Amino acid sequence: MTAIPTLFKEVWLLKPIQHTDLRGSFMESFNQNNFEDATGKQIQFCQDNQTFSKKGVLRGLHYQLPPFSQSKLVGVLQGKVLDVVVDIRKGSPTFGQHFTQELSAENQLQLFIPKGFAHGYITLTETSLFTYKVDQYYHPESEGSIAPNDPTLAIDWQLPQEEWIQSEKDTKHPFLVEAPLFDYKDNLYA
């Protein structure tokens, strides 16, 4: 597994080693020891999730607040998505900045998103099968969100907003200035 730095020193792109021959291919999509060696992070994931989406489905920007905040390891098994990570730690030197990366079945890249970052993605192909590991169970009362069309974030989602398909809940997210956030100093809800 190769770890590739991103805009945020806490967020890593990961490239598992793929072995191919005349039969096809094999790779370890996750290995705890390799993950820890590549990122320097000791994380115990507790749940794996998958979402199947049509083209234009935009999920996010989501996060959970302490003490139920989540770190995620995300990837794509089918299709292609634009994955977006936003620093929501008040006081961070990169607060309000975002990082985008196409994740696809072809490039086999994974993205590690630690606590303190909002996350979302949009499906760019006819369908996508998105997978992610989390290190904390979903806790509805700790859910936070930011509107993906927040003008201060200026995220290029690669598809026009009129083509977005969102849940009703996702269309009602607040802008960053109104959202509950993390405190960079002590990583507590602020």
- Mind telling me the catalytic residues? 62, 132
Contacts of residue 82, defined as CB under 8 A and 6 or more positions apart, other chains included, come to 100, 101, 102, 121, 122, 124, 157, 158
- Which residue from 181, 5, 166 is spatially nearest to 86, judged by alpha carbons? 181
CA-based nearest residue to 119, from 141, 144, 138, 142: 144
